Every structure is written in C-alpha cells, then in structure tokens.
C-alpha cells in the first residue's frame, strides 16, 4: 500500500470514529422542553419515571407552562436533588 493510500485509510477510519462518537452523544446533549415533552421524553431525565413524567404533564395542563426551569420543583415529588440532576438537560423553550 502506498503512503497516500495508508493516509487515506487512516483518515477514513478516524472520520468514521468521530462520527460515531458524535452520534452517541448527540441524543444526550439535546435538551428536553418540559413544556412540550411527552412521557417518553421526560423519562429520559435522571430520577424521572413514568409516574413523575405524568405529574409534570398534568401540572402544566392545570397550571400553564413552566416559566423557568426551576418551576419543575412545583411538581409533587420533584425536589432540589432531581432538579440539580437535570438542570442542564431541561429547557422551557
């Protein structure tokens, strides 16, 4: 194999690896809009199971949209620990 072919092969493999790593982390880096998320989206958050996810939806249906991310702590069963675990993963927009 010539030097050029070896270099091309290395670059091709490196590009593939970078692409796979990017895809693996892309889903985790997307924020979840707590004003629009479904149960299936909300349960991706740490410490949020189906029951809490349903409570989040019920709360916003009864009280309107969350004004700030911290408002999620107004939902029964969600305290500071759960908020802190998710504050970088949630949005209200």
CATH code, domain with 50 = 1.10.150.320
pLDDT at position 83 is 98
Q: Which structural domain range is residue 43 located in?
A: 32-91
One domain for residues 18 and 52: no
Number of structural domains, the chain? Answer: 2
One domain for residues 47 and 71: yes
Higher per-residue confidence, 20 vs 15: 15
pLDDT at position 6 is 76
One domain for residues 39 and 76: yes
pLDDT at position 88 is 97
Identify the residue whose tokens are 């969350």. Answer: 66
8 Å CB contact between 78 and 71 = no
One domain for residues 80 and 45: yes
pLDDT in tens, 23-78: 445 455 699 999 999 999 999 999 999 999 999 999 999 999 999 999 999 999 99
pLDDT at position 2 is 84
Which tokens sit at 65? 């949209």
One domain for residues 57 and 23: no
List the Cα angle 26/29/30 in 5-degree steps: 90
């Amino acid at each position: 194999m010539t030097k050029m072919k070896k270099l091309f092969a290395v670059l091709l493999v490196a590009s593939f690896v970078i692409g796979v790593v990017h895809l693996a982390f892309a889903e985790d880096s997307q924020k979840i809009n707590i004003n629009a998320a479904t149960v299936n989206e909300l349960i991706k958050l740490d410490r949020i199971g189906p029951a809490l996810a349903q409570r989040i939806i019920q709360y916003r249906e009864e009280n309107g949209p969350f004004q700030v991310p911290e408002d999620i702590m107004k939902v029964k069963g969600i305290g500071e620990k759960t908020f802190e675990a998710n504050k970088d993963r949630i949005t209200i927009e």
